[in-house]
Homo-oligomer: A and B are copies of this chain.
Amino acid sequence: MLGQIGEHARPAEAHEPDPDTATGSTPGTTPGTVHVVGLGPGPDRWLTPEVAELLGRVDHVVGYAPYVDRVPQREGLTRHASGNTVEVERGRLALDLAARGDEVAVVSGGDAGVFGMASAVFEAVENAVADDPHYAQVPVQVYPGVSAAQAAAALVGAPLGADFAIMSLSDRLKPWQVVADRLRAAASVDLVIALYNPRSLSRPEQLFAARDVLLEVKDPSTVVVVARDVGRAEQSATVTTLGEFDPATVDMKCLVIIGSSSTRVSPTGHVWTPRYVE
Contacts and interface: CB of A to CB of B under 8 A. Distances in A.
Contact of A189 (B40, B121, B181, B266): B181
Nearest to A183: B189
A118 B273 CA distance: 9
B273 A119 contact: yes
Interface residues of A, number: 102
A5 B237 contact: yes
A274 interface: yes
A129 interface: yes
A101 interface: no
B181 A113 contact: no
B48 A269 contact: no
A11 B49 CA distance: 32
Given A1-B238, A6-B235, 13 more contacts: A5-B238, A9-B268, A11-B269, A36-B158, A45-B53, A115-B275, A118-B161, A119-B161, A122-B270, A123-B272, A129-B267, A173-B276, A185-B189
Contacts of A140: 157, 268, 270
A158 B142 contact: yes
A269 B9 contact: yes
Interface string A128-146: 0100010110111011111
Contact of A239 (B4, B120, B185, B273): B4
9 nearest CB pairs, A to B:
A119-B161, A118-B158, A174-B277, A45-B50, A122-B272, A136-B267, A173-B276, A144-B150, A5-B237
A26 interface: no
A174 B276 contact: yes
